[in-house]
Chain A
């Protein structure tokens, strides 16, 4: 479980992105993290990974403060940031050096995920386009088999076909004990994937509920507009 407790964080002293913010992500399921621009979705993901130091409060993963960057906690978490750079080396060389850090790493899952994207594991990361790099990185992230996987705008930069392949890849890598948190603005790209939706604002959670109500799927865009307009 990820527990965010009374978190306050700001990039400068004048204003806080998150103010006394609390939230819990129970283990298992795919969460959609939504909010208006500047409400701190990406910041929250970075705080969960221990990549930022909160001014107040803490984020705990199974009771351990993530700000400490404990190796065991980190080996059970992975983040796919919105922008990233991959080293100019063959994919399998990259896999060889990150695999020892993730005890549940699955090469089989990596291959299945790459197959979903019509890609081969024998590629050089330096020769890939931005979109292809994103696909490969997402596959590596799923293959690490960490219990917590955080994704920031995962469908940005992907074409229509790739977005559908992305959904398939995530389902392929999903197991009951995994928690995937997807922060996005592209609600239509992920709504079929989500089990749960969380809509946030600076100091509060506006909505936190499963995405299915009375066995009927909810239109995520309508829900988002309704929740945000009610504020």
Chain B
């Protein structure tokens, strides 16, 4: 049995995008709507200020970008909870599970669509919103005062790289990489939640993560309390740690990478295992 065949993988993609056309249209529209929300509010704000004060006050493009970025970071994670939308109903489970392709091909298609597809759609949505905000600001305040977010991102890349490599913030690049690895794992938690439970899985995953983070916080407090004396001693001799001098020390970075990669492997493998064990009988898989 060939567990991965690129031609079959392509066929799975075509099949999924065709039979779930309406679902994907809704998904793309939802992402676009979420990304456009900050701009919609900024337009409302502009008109409100105009009506009440007679002044033209357009929201700065950096603020819009930050708002869209925050929305995207949370939305990307939650969208992981819709990875296996084909397992939601009994009928769609039959169609998905009897489709003559390997579990690996179907799993890879769904997860890649969640991780990479969402990113592409969000970026394209941001570009459309960017054009709208550029024109809006240009019309109201003149195009000399109007700035493009997307152009800004690309033109700021050299500065960003310089900032990442700067000696002022040692290992900043590593810190970002570790954060990204843990963020991908976070998406994986929602994917795993969807592989286990097909209904209400997003809410249940949020609750589960909340309980888990509370438990982790308690454990951290207990550990810190236990080592309080030696930590205080270290502060005296080495100075109070900041996020950069504390987290950037090599053992912490290494631990962050190692645990993050191990956790990713565990989460994505577990999601695959649950996916392969899916049955038609119920909306849960445990």
Contact = CB atoms under 8 A, between A and B. Distances in A.
A194 to B, nearest CB: 24
A53 B91 CA distance: 17
Interface stretch (A88-96, A113-121, A154-162, A212-220): A88-96
A75 interface: yes
Contacts, number: 83
A131 interface: no
A83 B18 CA distance: 21
A166 B164 CA distance: 69
Interface in A83-103: 83-85, 87-89, 93-94, 96-98, 100-102
Contacts of B102: 69-71
A49 B276 CA distance: 14
A101 B101 contact: yes
A102 B18 contact: no
Interface string A145-159: 000000000000000
Given A46-B280, A53-B277, A71-B100, A88 B91 contact: no
Interface residues of A, number: 32
Residue from A70, A77, A97 whose CB has the most chain B CB atoms within 10 Å: A97
B103 A87 contact: no
Contact of A79 (B18, B19, B94): B94
A37 to B, nearest CB: 18
Interface in B10-37: 11, 14-15, 18-22
A38 to B, nearest CB: 15
B277 A50 contact: no
B101 to A, nearest CB: 5
B8 A71 contact: yes
A103 to B, nearest CB: 9
Nearest to A100: B11
Contacts of B5: 71
Given A79-B94, A97-B18, A101-B11, A74 B279 contact: no
A49 B97 CA distance: 9
B92 interface: yes
A64 B277 CA distance: 17
B237 to A, nearest CB: 60
Nearest to B10: A100
A84 B1 contact: no
B90 interface: yes
Given A53-B279, A71-B8, A87 B98 contact: no
A51 B14 contact: no
B11 to A, nearest CB: 5
Contact of A81 (B20, B91, B276): B91
Contacts of B2: 71
B281 A93 contact: no
List the 7 shortest-distance A-B pairs measured between CB atoms, nearest first.
A75-B100, A74-B100, A87-B19, A85-B91, A101-B100, A97-B15, A51-B280
28 contacts: A50-B98, A51-B94, A51-B98, A51-B279, A53-B279, A69-B102, A71-B1, A71-B100, A71-B102, A72-B1, A72-B100, A74-B100, A75-B100, A78-B98, A79-B94, A83-B90, A84-B95, A85-B89, A87-B18, A87-B20, A93-B18, A96-B18, A97-B15, A97-B18, A97-B19, A100-B7, A101-B15, A102-B100
